[in-house]
A and B are shown apart, each in its own frame.
Chain A
Amino acid sequence: MQPCGQSLFAPRPGNRPPATRLLALLLLLALQGAAAAPAGSRTPEDSEWCQDAELPQGLLLQAARAALHFFNFRAGSPSALRVLAEVQEGSAWINQRKERKVDLVFTTELYSTEEAKARLGKCSARVFFRNEKPRPAVNVTCTQLIERQKRQEEDYQLYRHMKQLNTPLDVVSIPDSHGHIDPSLRPIWDLAFLGSSYVMWEKTTQFLHYYVSQLSSVKQWKTNDDAIDFDYTVLLHEFSTQEIIPCRIHLVWYPGKPLKVKYHCQELQTPEASGTEDGSAVAPIELSNF
């Protein structure tokens, strides 16, 4: 990998990470069982990369967002969702096809925490953006924020709570207009956010990024094999266009098992997109009139 002209760029002034630290990061990624993008998506490792010293504005943040959505999806744990705290360091490479490779280190907080001084987790990631196309390839590892047993216990509690809820749920919107989420509905929000993470990961590009604004038309019904089968619509907010995009999401979840997600978003200009996660041992549930 040769430089595209200049030296390593650091996001914080006066804080240039030595080359050795990034090298260690790459080794770490290679050695650990890091979460990787699903099979079938191209990881352009072999392309000619040159180092992009003129880091395009917000590229590191974009990479962090994509990595975090993907991490949350893969972790499959609605009680251990994470949000971005801070990007600490990173560098980027670009190839002839204008694809970008980003290595970065960032910190995270727990989504559910209300503490003023939340504990920080640390993540390192490698993200490939394919020139404005969605579905960035992600390799991400994070330090543990919640003890494994505690997380499993909370997930299972959430699962039991969801199973007890009456179906179909006729909830208008979560949160309500004033930002309130009834504590009894919080598990629904967390699970919906988990499923949305998959959608947001897939839709994130170098320039587009998403947040969950609100949850509407919540439905749920039980399945034979005891998993939570959850059908709902989220309103995603895309930041650069400011648009609100309704996405119908259908997920199947059981604590500890990989999350399965199907979705269908109402795009404005582009033809309606839909995506499916594959690679699970459990056969996907068939839906009628999706």
Chain B
Amino acid sequence: MKPLLGTIYLLGMLVPGGLGYDRFLAQHRHEVVDEVVSPWRILETYTYNRYHPMGEIYQWMNQIRENYPEVVTQHFLGMTYESRPMYYLKISQPSSNPKKIMWMDCGIHAREWIAPAFCQWFVKEILQNYKDNSRIRRLLKNLDFYVLPVLNIDGYIYSWTTDRLWRKSRSSHNNGTCFGTDLNRNFNASWCSVGATHNCQDLTFCGTGPESEPETKAVSSFIESRKENVACFLTMHSYGQLILLPYGYTKNKSSNHEELIQVGQKAANALKAKHGTDYRVGSSADILYATSGSSRDWARDIGIPFSYTFELRDNGTYGFVLPEAQIQATCEEAMEAVLSILDDVYEKYWSTSRAGKVTSTAVVLSLLMSFTALL
């Protein structure tokens, strides 16, 4: 049984990276895995401190879904330009409570490999700890986590097979002479007004129109249809060590700018407490550069209150090609930041007339106890 699983892993790696998902799925079907792998295996043996090609990430999603059916479901989001399926994982603790959504996507830019690594890490951490970690249990009472481990699947595969520093999608333009749209310039947020170009050859090509790319459309349609319920929109990138708020397309600040700064700074402090790493916090236009058509700005503009871009490690020493030896530390500290934001979101929406009762009960009890001690 276990050797069979090992064979699956091997096959996943032997299959050339350029193959589409459907061919992999066909192979997978030939090696039918009927036996249930005990849950701890997928978390213990999958190497979260290594980078994984897309085939392995698809496989990982399947196994997570199969092994945590009580909290995890896998959902189809749409098809990429090169006809690959986009899946997200929904982590949800069944309850009668009305839920709000945290959305996290990784890998909108192909070369930013640490981002998909973090999405996988995040899922692992939640599933490993949701039963006995009160902090996570509390969050899952009212929040559902939607995680898209790789948004730009075509580009990600291309960065494995052909060009490690590829950034954009793989859509074809100008009669097949030019490839790729910068998906983070393609959202409908002051589209192509600044910090993006109409030239397909550029790395910040905004596409032929807002949401012209299937990947963009898949995400935006999904979020749009649920926007009243989305409390938190996180999009993971590298590098630069930044926590970015809206906006990039203007120096104007969002209506909840002060709150976003406070929450962001608290997250950066929590991050720094882990391994001493410094992340700066600010609006994209203030501390990075002007950009238009970003998913974060778009999310804020349709009303999602907590919308952040994370630029993970490092500061330019290795840049996009971050050594695998740094994956663990990068993910651990980023995890602290994300949990901090989620705590603040939770406090805001579901705090604590309940908590107030608990506190006053404790006070009354201790008063009673000290009173009886005096008797």
Q: How far is the CB of A101 from chain B (nearest CB, A)?
A: 23
Residue of B with least CB distance to A178: B324
Contacting residue for B319 out of A83, A213, A268, CB 8 A: A213
Answer yes or no: A237 CB below 8 A from chain B CBs.
Answer: yes
Contact with A along B312-331 (1 / 0, CB 8 A): 00011111111111100000
Contact A177 B204 (CB under 8 A): no
Contact B160 A177 (CB under 8 A): yes
Give the contacts of A150-192 with B (CB-CB under 8 A). Answer: 173, 175, 177-181
Q: How far is the CB of A49 from chain B (nearest CB, A)?
A: 26
Residue of A with least CB distance to B197: A241
Q: Which residues on A sit within 8 Å (CB–CB) of B316?
A: 83, 211
Answer yes or no: A41 CB below 8 A from chain B CBs.
Answer: no
Contact B317 A268 (CB under 8 A): no
Q: Which residues on A sit within 8 Å (CB–CB) of B202?
A: 241, 243, 268
B interface list, Cβ under 8 A from A: 50-51, 160, 164-165, 167, 182, 201-204, 275-276, 278, 286-287, 289, 315-326
Contact A178 B323 (CB under 8 A): yes
User: A186 vs B297: C-alpha distance in the bound complex, in angstroms?
Assistant: 41
User: A237 vs B321: C-alpha distance in the bound complex, in angstroms?
Assistant: 11
- Given known A-B contacts A178-B324, A241-B202, A242-B167, A211 and B289 have beta carbons under 8 A apart: no
Q: How far is the CB of B215 from chain A (nearest CB, A)?
A: 18
User: A275 vs B291: C-alpha distance in the bound complex, in angstroms?
Assistant: 31
Answer yes or no: A235 CB below 8 A from chain B CBs.
Answer: yes
The A/B interface has a contact count, at CB < 8 Å, of 64
Q: Which residues on B sit within 8 Å (CB–CB) of A240?
A: 289
Contact B289 A179 (CB under 8 A): no
Residue of B with least CB distance to A180: B323
Contact B320 A213 (CB under 8 A): yes
- Given known A-B contacts A214-B164, A235-B165, A116 and B319 have beta carbons under 8 A apart: no
Q: How large is the interface on A (under 10, 10 to 19, 20 to 34, 35 or more residues)?
A: 20 to 34
Q: Which residues on A sit within 8 Å (CB–CB) of B203?
A: 241-244
Q: Which residues on A sit within 8 Å (CB–CB) of B276?
A: 116-117
User: A120 vs B106: C-alpha distance in the bound complex, in angstroms?
Assistant: 34
Most buried by B among A173, A242, A243, A268: A242
Residue of A with least CB distance to B290: A240
Q: Which residues on A sit within 8 Å (CB–CB) of B289?
A: 239-240
Contacting residue for A179 out of B165, B201, B287, B322, CB 8 A: B322
Residue of B with least CB distance to A210: B316
Answer yes or no: A96 CB below 8 A from chain B CBs.
Answer: no
Q: How far is the CB of B236 from chain A (nearest CB, A)?
A: 17
Contact B286 A179 (CB under 8 A): no
Contacting residue for A214 out of B165, B287, B322, B323, CB 8 A: B165
Q: How far is the CB of A240 from chain B (nearest CB, A)?
A: 5
Answer yes or no: A224 CB below 8 A from chain B CBs.
Answer: no
Contacting residue for B324 out of A58, A179, A241, CB 8 A: A179
Give the contacts of A67-108 with B (CB-CB under 8 A). Answer: 83-84, 86
Q: How far is the CB of B125 from chain A (nearest CB, A)?
A: 22
Contact A179 B204 (CB under 8 A): no
Q: Which residues on B sit within 8 Å (CB–CB) of A86?
A: 278
Contact B165 A180 (CB under 8 A): no
Answer yes or no: A57 CB below 8 A from chain B CBs.
Answer: yes
Contact A179 B323 (CB under 8 A): yes
13 contacts across the A-B interface (CB closer than 8 A)? A86-B278, A117-B276, A175-B323, A177-B160, A177-B321, A178-B51, A179-B326, A180-B323, A213-B319, A237-B165, A237-B319, A242-B203, A243-B202
Q: Could you list 16 further interchain pairs (A-B, Cβ under 8 angstroms) beyond the known A116-B275, A240-B289? A: A84-B315, A177-B321, A178-B51, A178-B323, A178-B324, A179-B323, A181-B323, A213-B319, A213-B321, A214-B165, A214-B321, A237-B320, A241-B202, A243-B203, A244-B203, A268-B202
Q: Which residues on B sit within 8 Å (CB–CB) of A84?
A: 315
User: A243 vs B168: C-alpha distance in the bound complex, in angstroms?
Assistant: 11
Contact with B along A211-247 (1 / 0, CB 8 A): 1111000000000000000000001010111111000
Contacting residue for B204 out of A58, A117, A213, A241, CB 8 A: A241
User: Lowest 8 CB-CB distances: which A-B pairs, in order?
Assistant: A179-B323, A211-B316, A242-B203, A179-B321, A177-B164, A244-B165, A240-B289, A178-B324
Residue of B with least CB distance to A174: B321
Contact B287 A57 (CB under 8 A): yes
User: A237 vs B164: C-alpha distance in the bound complex, in angstroms?
Assistant: 13
Contact B318 A175 (CB under 8 A): yes
User: A240 vs B196: C-alpha distance in the bound complex, in angstroms?
Assistant: 10
Contact B324 A180 (CB under 8 A): yes
Contact with B along A53-64 (1 / 0, CB 8 A): 000011000000
Q: How far is the CB of A14 from chain B (nearest CB, A)?
A: 15
Q: How far is the CB of B114 from chain A (nearest CB, A)?
A: 9
Q: Which residues on A sit within 8 Å (CB–CB) of B204?
A: 241-242
Contact B201 A268 (CB under 8 A): yes
Q: How far is the CB of A108 from chain B (nearest CB, A)?
A: 12
Q: Which residues on B sit within 8 Å (CB–CB) of A214?
A: 164-165, 321
